[in-house]
Chains A and B, each alone.
Chain A
C-alpha cells in the first residue's frame, strides 16, 4: 500500500532549539492518523512541514506523491488545512469567508450542504467574532473541506472547547474519514486520540517514541487490568488470592480490587468468580488508556 504521506528523517530547529529531530512516519489512505504529545513536542512543526507551510532543515516529505515545497501550488488544491488557534477577520461574515474560499478552487462542494452538515446554516450572516469557539472550529473545518481535499490536516482541533462542542467535532471528523478522506491531526488530548485515531504516533522532544494503533500501544505498554467488584460474601479476597492469573486481590469493606495482566484477565476473573460461587452486587473493569501509555513512556503526564 502506497502511503498518502511519507515523512523520513525530518529535522527542524529554531535557532538552538531542536523542534523536530529525525521524525519518520507514514499515513495511509482513508485513515485518521494522530500525532500526539504535550505542547512544544514538535507536533505543529511536523504538521506544517508536511503541509508545505514550513521549510524543514533536513529529511524528505512526500504528500500524495508531491513535494510540499516544490509542488506547493498543486498540493494546496488537494489538501485542506486547519491551523492551531486560527482566526479570521473579526467582522467577516460566515458566507463571505466561504464565498472567498470557493472562488479559489476550480472544483468545490455544494456550500449549503456543507454548512448544513457542519450545523452553520443559521450562522451564515454572522460575523466571525460573534461565533462560539465550536462554531469557529466548524467554520474552519468547512473551509478546509470546501474543495473536497484528499487529505485534511487538523491541528489541535478541539483545544479550548467545552466537552459538548468537542464531541460534536469528533463526530464531524469521523464523518470526514467515512467519506474516504485521509485525516492527519495533532492533539494533546489522549481521550481525543483514543476516540478518533486509527493510528497514533507519540512525539516528545521532537522525536517519535512510539507508533501504532491505540489498542496496540495499550496492550504493549500497559497490559495491567483491574477488576473491581462488591460482594457481601465472606473471605472473598482470600479465596481469590493466587487463583489463575490473579496477581493481587485485596478488599476494603465490601469492595474488592483484583489485579492482573493480559487480554484474557477480565474473562478469567469472571470465570473464577462464577466457579467460586461468589455473589456479586457490582462489577467494573479498569482498563489502561493512552494516557497511561503516555505516562509510562515519558515518565510524566501530558499536562506536566
Chain B
C-alpha cells in the first residue's frame, strides 16, 4: 500500500517546476550540450557513415548527461530535505519510506522522459537524418540507465554531509564515472584495474546499452549490460537502505 504516492509525486513535480534554476537547468543543460557539441563535431553524421571524425556519439553523451543531471538533482533535493528536517517530518506521517523516496524517483523519471523527448525533437530538426534510432527502445534504455544510476544517487545522498556539499560530492563521484564509461575511450583498452572498476559502474553499462540500441544491434546483444544495470540497481538500493540517513 503506497498511500499518498501519487499525491506526493504530483506535488513534488509541481514544486520542482517552481524552482526555475533547477527546473530549467536540469531540462535544458543536456539539450544545450547536445546542440553545441552536435554542431561542433558535425553532429552525429548519419550513423551508417563511418564516424572517423566524430570522437563520440553526441546523442548518447547527451542522454547519459540527462541521467546524470537527474541524479545530481535527486542528491541535491534529498540533502536539502534532510537538512531542513523535511524528510524527518514526512517520515513521522503515515507515509512509508518507500513512498517518500519513490515519489522523488518518479519525478526524476518523468523529467528524464521530457528531457529525452526534447533531445529527440531537437536532433530531428537540427541534424536531419541522424536520429533514426528506435525512439521507444532508446527511451526504455535511458530510463533503465537512469533508474540504475539513481540508485547510486541514494548512496551518494547518504554520504553528503550537508546540502552545501551535494553538488561537489555528486560531481566528484559522477564525472569520473563518465570518463570511465567508454564514451570517450573504449573500456576494453583501459588498464586492467580501471576496466574492473568501470564494470562496476552503471554508467559503463548504460553507455554500452545505449550504443547498442543506437547501432541497432538490439537488446539481445546487450543482455549482459541490461543484467548488470539491474544487478547494480539492486546492489545500490540494498546498500542505500543500510546507509541512508533521514536526518
Contact = CB atoms under 8 A, between A and B. Distances in A.
Interface of A: 51, 53, 73, 76-77, 81, 83-92, 96, 99-101, 103-105, 127
A157 to B, nearest CB: 14
A100 B8 contact: yes
Contacts of A76: 92-94
Interface residues of B, number: 21
Contact of B92 (A53, A91, A96): A53
Nearest to A84: B85
Nearest to B14: A96
Interface string B143-178: 000000000000000000000000000000000000
B88 A104 contact: no
A85 B247 CA distance: 12
B89 interface: yes
- The listed residue with most A CB atoms (<10 A of its CB), out of B4, B19, B85, B92, is B92
B15 A83 contact: no
B7 interface: yes
A90 B86 CA distance: 10
Given A100-B8, A100-B11, A53 B91 contact: yes
A86 B19 CA distance: 21
A86 B93 CA distance: 14
Contacts of A86: 84-86, 88-89
Contacts of A87: 84-86, 89
21 contacts: A51-B92, A53-B92, A73-B94, A76-B93, A83-B85, A86-B88, A87-B84, A87-B86, A87-B89, A88-B84, A89-B15, A89-B81, A89-B86, A90-B15, A90-B19, A100-B11, A103-B7, A104-B4, A104-B93, A104-B94, A104-B95
B88 A53 contact: yes
Contacts of B88: 53, 83, 86
Contact of A83 (B4, B7, B92): B92
Contacts of A81: 92
Interface of B: 3-4, 7-8, 11-12, 14-15, 18-19, 81, 84-86, 88-89, 91-95
A189 to B, nearest CB: 20
Contacts of A73: 94
Nearest to A77: B94
Contacts of A51: 92
Contacts of A90: 15, 19
A99 B7 contact: yes
A90 B3 CA distance: 23
Contacts of B7: 99-100, 103
- The listed residue with most A CB atoms (<10 A of its CB), out of B7, B12, B15, B81, is B15
A219 B25 CA distance: 64
A81 B94 CA distance: 12
B86 A96 contact: no
Contacts of A89: 12, 15, 81, 86
A91 B19 contact: yes
Contacts of A77: 94
Given A89-B15, A90-B15, A104-B3, 6 more contacts: A87-B86, A88-B86, A89-B12, A100-B8, A103-B3, A105-B94
A21 B19 CA distance: 45
A86 B87 CA distance: 10
B245 to A, nearest CB: 13
Contacts of B86: 86-89
A173 to B, nearest CB: 19
Contacts of B85: 83-87
Nearest to B18: A91
Nearest to B77: A89
